[in-house]
Structure 1
Amino acid sequence: MTLWTAKEAEAATGGRAQGDWSVNGISIDTRTIAQGDLFVALKAARDGHDFVAQALEKGAGAALVSRIPEGVADDAPLLIVDDVQTGLEALGAAGRARTDAKVVAVTGSVGKTSTKEMLACMLGDQGRTHAAVASYNNHWGVPLTLARMPQDTEFAVIEVGMNHPGEIAPLARQARPHVAMVTTVAAVHLEAFEDVAGIAREKAAIMEGLEPGGVAVLNADLAETPVLAEEADRMGAITRWFGTTSQDYHLGAVTLTGEETRAEATCAGVSKTLSIQSLGTHFAMNALGALAAVEALGADIDLAIQSLSRWSPVKGRGARLSVAVDGGTITVLDDSYNANPTSVAAALAVLAASPAQGRRIACLGDMGELGEDAAALHAGLATGDAMTHVDAVYSVGPLMQNLHAALPQGHAGKWFETSTDAAEALTHELAAGDILLVKGSNYMQLVRVVDALREMGQGS
């Protein structure tokens, strides 16, 4: 199916198209580019213009550029614009404008990617659904997701993230959601904010993009809930609240059994039972908010609950894998993509609730962007309730030395400087029946631990 023709892309961006081309996808990476994609030559660590020739050789249908790069023919299929980032944003705006899709945008300090995936699963069973891939939630990820959206899309799920003040509102205005959801607010990116209330105000800025009559789905259980309520009132958003203290979408008893989370909930006054094929009270909470968003979009909540029962986390976001070893298997909880104090506490609670024939072990890497309180926040993990059910904690990175020092001697495993060192050690120290949680900020590359274990046992 054609996504953009040369004339459509030219009109959308105000650029100049060379050739009469059409594309059926959009890519920013020559390593994963598909036949017929539009290659977008963004500038990041490297200038994308350096890879245009390679993209065209690999079968790209055209390239979005601000100049004709070296090694590219003068008559190559190109869309030439003044600035590639601005051109991508214009293409995204046009992609959003030409569709009648119902759009939900999701942000939050924790859980936005898994909630986005839940929504995509729920809505995908009720109509043609387009969603952000991976964690494409920043200044290029949001317009890229919008530009990739087929014109006949019925539901769209857009993830919106931030690292600094002022980032969310412009992205929300690009997405123009009918429903905006804030999963939670936590002590993340404190280097860029004075306090958590400032983070709450930035997250609330997702409501700046709401379409007229749009609905804000907000967490009722936070210390910063009054900030969200104040911002929603200021922007005139219709609100739907979810949580254990909410009457709109109320979370009741949550039971973790085996590999299933079951939750009793009341959705707009109607009792519902939720089933999720992964352990975690936080999954139940996010699912409840997602169901509120589903109803606000006009989709069927009962069908969504059925779809939810088939959902499971993706790699790096709580996915489970089994590694075959002599005498049995090792279970790995792969939560290696990101970490902050709130998400680590939630992951440790999952580990504590997981059945294990052997030991419950955590491999935790540094949590980034926590500001001047970083050392104390790492050490503070030692006093969490779930820690009493964890047999050993292997710590990775300079900040995690604070946790290593704070742990009782019986619980402190080894400290490693790098994830490579941890991977090497854990492949030798784990035994059949053990269950291992792997979690850390993405820059710590704890995925190396997961990959090493997967390779060791050809994990499934």
Structure 2
Amino acid sequence: MTPLWTAQEVAAATGGSASADFAANGVAFDSREVGPGDLFVALKGDATDGHRFVAQAFAQGAAGAIVSQPVDGPHVLVADTSAALDVLGAASRARTAATIVGVTGSVGKTSVKEALFAALDRSAPGAVHRSLKSYNNHVGVPLSLARMPRETRFAVFEMGMNHAGELAALTRLVRPHVAIVTAIALAHGAFFADEAAIAEAKSEIFEGLEPAGTAITPYDSPHRERLIAAARAHAGQITTFGRDPAADIYAGETIRLARGTFVSARLRAARLSFTLAPPGEHWVSNALAILAAVEVAGGDLALAGLALAELEGLAGRGRRLTVVAGDGEALLIDESYNANPASMRATLAVLGQEKAARRIAILGGMRELGPDEARHHAELAGPVMAAGVGAALLVGNEMAALAAALEGRLDLVHVPDAAAASAAAKSMVAPGDVILVKGSNSFGLASVVAALAGVEG
């Protein structure tokens, strides 16, 4: 098998000098993730210096390292390891013949990235690459590029931001042939004046489009014209998706099923009827964006439809678990990875559609919402009640406003942190319940999911 990187290739790409020959089949900057044959990049950060872990990386089987000071073991010596990772990612992008898709948005970008990977992998099994985890920032994107195998046919890269200008730098590194904006919502609102400013920042993804590239944008968004105007300056083609028949990619008939949704979609050059496994209106929108990208990229639409029918929820992003509840069982919906007002409303709506003896909402605070934080939390009272929630467990100081809005309307517990929530949750759950766990990742509600699933510690 052709190696991912040789010492000579790394040195040529980074302008560094190789101490010895080596061949690497992976790249990592977290020493805990290093496996046999990997290239370890010793990054210097505010909290720690990766050079402290070079010996550990070699002990775990690293083939070589990129360092800015001499070390024992095969390495490429460079002036700046962060800059070296950037140029290694750029070199990987320059040598590939793959069709590249970039994904951003206020909500749904990781889910769309993973589902698009699954859809394209049906067309080219084993020849599709994507960002792992949520590696979508100034370090994760070049790492994901550097990990791209030479033989890749399709690649999907997630790109995120919380300040203007960040996405522009990432997309110019990725240089996508297809750029998707999933949706615009109030996320990272503390750093932007309003949603329009967020839309402007998200539209930066189009700046890196390859000549004649395609921009895929949500038609139903109130920021549609702003996104289209931004795309027009860089895209050879603009494709919109949504529930409005005026959208290029349009979902006509949708029927809620016992598991998922039946969707009949009109694409640019085809019609496709398929079953979408993940529930919720937001997933219909995600599926349309995914199919738009598959069509543009030249993937097999029928096989993509099969992939959407078999999608499983990701940990923290819609995974469903059956958990022990007293002398019976309960359904746990794990949305613990992140939260903003739009995603809270969407997942509460999904909870409301579930048949249950009782619906329980375990909700953590939403971070980075700016000066209107209390109002945004209080306004969740309507969606909570509309979902038919019988009991709510609220976590964190941010949830005080929602606790006040719900007082006396349902069974309510408000606790300061995830540890207290874990203890309270286990005593609340009864057979036949459906439990939604959702909050900003910094609240650590994944530990509540683990406690309910019986896998804590």
TM-score normalized by structure 2? Answer: 0.96
Matched, 1:261 2:261: yes
State the identity as a percent: 45
| SS of the residue 1:26 aligns to | strand
Letter in 2 for 1:289: A
Counterpart-to-counterpart distance in 2, 1:119 and 1:101: 15
Structure 2 distance, partners of 1:279, 1:408, is 30
Q: CA deviation at 1:435?
A: 0.8
Q: Distance in 1 between matches of 2:410 and 2:268?
A: 44
Partners of 1:300 and 1:49 in 2: how far apart? 45
Which amino acid in 2 is paired with 1:29?
Answer: D
Question: Which whole-Å CA distance do the structure 1 matches of 2:384 and 2:349 have between them?
Answer: 8
Counterpart position of 1:129: 128
Distance 1:56 1:136 in 2: 23
Partner of 1:50: 52
Aligned in 2, Cα 1:302/1:360: closer, same or farther, shift over 3 Å? same
Contact 1:161 1:168 in 2 (8 A): yes
Equivalence for 1:383: 382
Distance in 2 of aligned mates of 1:331 and 1:188: 28
Counterpart check, 1:228 vs 2:230: no
The residue type paired with residue 215 of structure 2 is A
**Counterpart mapping for 1:159-178 below 5 A:** 159-178=158-177
Please report how far the alpha carbon of residue 386 of structure 1 lies from its aligned counterpart in structure 2 after TM superposition.
6.0
Alpha-carbon RMSD across the aligned residues, in angstroms, is: 1.6
State the distance in 2 between where 1:15 and 1:33 align.
22
What's the CA shift for 1:271?
3.4
Cα-to-partner distance string for 1:402-424 (whole Å, 9 max, x where unaligned): 11111151325100100110001
The AA in structure 1 aligned to 2:309 is S
After superposition, the Cα gap between the structure-2 partners of 1:315 and 1:406, relative to the gap in structure 1 and judged at 3 Å, is same
Deviations 1:144-199 (A, max 9, x none): 01000001000000000001110001110111111000000011111111111111
Aligned residue pair count: 452
Instruction: Judge which range, 161-170 or 241-250, deviates more.
Output: 241-250
Amino acid at match of 2:13: A
For the pair 1:117 / 2:118, whether they are aligned, the reply is: no
CA pair 349-184 structure 1, distance change in 2 beyond 3 A = same
Structure 1 residue 456: Cα displacement: 6.4
One-letter code aligned to 2:54: V
Are the aligned partners of 2:261 and 2:276 in contact in 1 as well (CA < 8 Å)?
yes
Counterpart contact for 1:352–1:386, Cα < 8 Å: no
Q: Secondary structure at the match of 1:400?
A: helix
The residue number in structure 2 matching 1:308 is 308
Which ranges of structure 2 fall in alignment gaps of 5 or more residues? none
Q: Which residue of 1 aligns with 2:42?
A: 41
C-alpha separation in 2, matches of 1:249 and 1:62: 47
Is 1:100 matched with 2:97? yes
* Alpha carbons 1:392, 1:410 under 8 Å: kept: no
Q: How does 1:435-454 map to 2 (within 5 A)?
A: 435-454=434-453
Q: After superposing the two structures, state which structure 1 stretch, 15-24 or 383-392, moved more.
A: 383-392
| Cross-structure match for 1:339 | 339
Partner Cα separation in structure 1 for residue 5 and residue 420 of structure 2: 47
Cα deviation digits, residues 229-268 of structure 1 (max 9, x gap):
1111233441000001243111223333333222222112
Alpha-carbon deviations, 1:245-299, whole Å to 9, x = none? 2431112233333332222221126432231222111111101111001111111
111-120 vs 57-66, greater mean Cα deviation: 57-66
Q: Aligned residue for 2:278?
A: 278
* Residue identity in the other structure for 2:377: H
Deviation at 1:383, TM superposition (A): 1.6
Taking the aligned partners of 2:392 and 2:160, their CA distance within structure 1 comes to 30
SS of alignment partner, residue 32 of structure 2: coil
Distance of 2:276 and 2:411 partners within structure 1: 32
For structure 1, the residue ranges without an aligned partner over 5 or more in a row are none
* Change over 3 Å in CA distance of 1:63–1:457 after alignment to 2: closer
Please state how far the C-alpha of 1:43 moved relative to its aligned partner: 2.6
